[in-house]
Amino acid sequence: MKIIPAIAARHAEHRRWRHALHAQPELAYVEHLTADFVAARLEACGIAYVRGLGRTGIVATIEGHSPGRRVGLRADMDALPLQEMNDFAHRSQNAGVMHACGHDGHTVMLLAAAEYLARERAFHGTVHCIFQPAEEGEAGAKAMMDDGLFERFPMDAVFGLHNWPWLPMGQMAVRAGPMMASMDIFEATVRGRGGHAAQPHLAIDSIVVAAAIVQAWQTIVARNVDPLESGVVSVTQIHAGRAWAVIPEEVSLRGTVRTFNPAVQVLIEQRLRELGEGLAAAHGCTFDWRYERRFPATINSVAETDFAAAVASELLGADNILRDAAPSMGSEDFGWMLQVKPGSYVWLGTGGETSCLLHNPRYDFNDAAIPVGASYWVALAQAFLNP
């Protein structure tokens, strides 16, 4: 493993940065303290930056010693609405909010890389470091793009990285093509006729109808989607009633759909609505429907993925690079960026004996990965800009 010595020497300080961010997690589009922290570190390094893209996003620009190509490196900054259950000193100080996905680590790895790149400037061209808000389901990538990210900061390619506790420390997974699934959300309201629970024949039981709809939806992937394709339909919320003896007037159903193939995405959306409307009508209920496409699939371009794999192989050793990794049905709004720019999104192994899975109330980013990820960013930028 070829960790950059100057980055490794700063590990204690970078670890303190990460712990400070972990203790002050912020949700989508309110990452004000986090953005202040990033801005302060950039200023200390003499790095120019612009705030306010996507509300709380930051783009830092580092110019090389001569003009050349331009590359974007992206880290996400937001936390999750989750109560932390850890008891270490740097645990969350914000009740109900937690860095349970490692975005604190992502932010620090990119800051550490920016610090080194700005000091050495051993490259031609330009590095744009993108500190993005609102990745957790709120499409901060698209918000930054809507604010002119790629027009104001031209880039020839853009790259992303996510910690991956399922992989051992020091390994990396890369894949050309689909890496992460699209993320759609849906909400349905089934309305019947409320009544006394002891007289169901006088009511139209919205709960029974909603249960039938949920069951029917689970046949879509099994019986409508080509078995060689991938799809997930998950109902994650059911809300109805407040009393023991009252059949409620309505039931709210919410959930998510994950796909790689846009044709499968269209099919699932259509069948969800058709089954919902048909079953509701058959039982004398109404059916109100909302479907929203939050993230497209994250689809890596071939040339940039081969390039990222070559950089990672040089850094970590070819035996530690998992090529053609199985994609994840999880989602990532970096897919928006890859719709308009070539690039690649990789997983950095952070696993270990004490590692915990993402989105878990006991998760904590593995600090040993900071110099690995930062060295990858530096090596990637330098190799891209010094072909």
pLDDT one-digit tens code per residue, 50-67: 999 999 999 999 999 999
CATH topology of domain 183-295: Alpha-Beta Plaits (3.30.70)
CB of 77 within 8 A of CB of 132?
A: yes
pLDDT reading at 352 higher than 90: no
User: Could you tell me the two tokens for 272?
Assistant: 């969800």
Q: What is the pLDDT of residue 354?
A: 64
Calculate the alpha carbon distances from 352 to 19, 40, 104, 366, 374 in Å.
19, 32, 18, 8, 19
pLDDT single digits (tens) 142-175 = 999 999 999 999 999 999 999 999 999 999 999 9
Lowest mean pLDDT among 34-48, 111-125, 287-301, 343-357: 343-357
What is the spatial distance between Cα 187 and Cα 117, in angstroms, rounded to a whole number? 46
Per-residue pLDDT tens for 296-323?
Answer: 999 999 999 999 999 999 999 999 999 9
Mean of per-residue pLDDT scores for the chain: 97
The pLDDT assigned to 356 comes to 85
Alpha carbon of 36 to those of 16, 30, 365, 373: distances in Å?
A: 16, 11, 21, 22
Where are the domains positioned within the chain? 5-181+297-385, 183-295
Backbone angles phi, psi at 205, to 5 degrees: -75, 105
At residue 1, the pLDDT reads: 85
Q: How far is CA 15 from the centre of its chain?
A: 22
The pLDDT value recorded for residue 346 is: 98
Class level of CATH domain 5-181+297-385: alpha beta
pTM of structure: 0.94
Q: For the segment 197-251, what is each residue's pLDDT rounded down to a tens digit? A: 999 999 999 999 999 999 999 999 999 999 999 999 999 999 999 999 999 999 9
